[in-house]
Amino acid sequence: GAGVSQTPSNKVTEKGKYVELRCDPISGHTALYWYRQSLGQGPEFLIYFQGTGAADDSGLPNDRFFAVRPEGSVSTLKIQRTERGDSAVYLCASSLSTGFGETQYFGPGTRLLVL
Amino acid sequence: GNSVTQMEGPVTLSEEAFLTINCTYTATGYPSLFWYVQYPGEGLQLLLKATKADDKGSNKGFEATYRKETTSFHLEKGSVQVSDSAVYFCALLDTNAGKSTFGDGTTLTVKP
């Protein structure tokens, strides 16, 4: 079946602009996660959803970052007033549930470059 | 908070050599442990996992054992191939929350 998909695959924007990154999880997966990966580092947790609600947004770096999942499927990560330090690969993952030991399946990521 | 420390890379081996990539963790409670692999130009893929102490995860000739006493989850393979060249990430999943904590990754290059 189809895996997690993310669009766009690459995004170049100018400092101060607004961007939206989209994630389509695996069908039937109730949990959805966003991570950010900087060069040479492992993914860093941003936020996760169980259904439509954000269960933990403790990883969002500041109030310029916001994510939604209005119908419990597709999610959008929104970044306002982008800064050069926001440049990274943004990864989305989904899992069947948030049960013990549940595997998270990752998408290919969106590479964001802020000029 | 939770943390994962991986052996620093890069690691370069000849084909058929033995591989060990060290991983240690700090966590409250009883996390599940994972190894993910990222091949060049591809996304993160689950390689193997273990959900409780003394469990051994295995896949594609790779193995790792969940050692609670040493808080470790070292990745091993007896005979590496050129196709194993990739970046390997150790991660833990907090049992009380949905989020994973990752190490910084170890780049493995296998030469013919």
Q: What is the pLDDT of residues B7-35, one digit of tens each?
A: 888 999 999 999 999 999 999 878 999 99
pLDDT in tens, A29-44: 999 999 999 988 999 9
Whether residue A99 has pLDDT greater than 80: no
β-bridge mates for residue A57, sequence order: none
**Which residues in chain A have Cβ-Cβ distances shorter than 8 Å to B91?**
42
Residue B84, helix vs strand vs coil: helix
Nearest-neighbour CA in chain A from B67: distance (Å): 16
Selected for mutation to probe chain B from A100, A105, A110, A111 (highest B CB count within 10 Å) is: A100
Mean pLDDT of chain A: 94
B91 to A42: CB separation less than 8 angstroms, yes or no = yes
**CB within 8 Å: B43 and A108:** yes
Report the first-to-last Cα separation within chain B, whole angstroms: 41
What pLDDT sits at residue B41?
82
Between A and B, how many CB-CB pairs are < 8 A?
A: 62
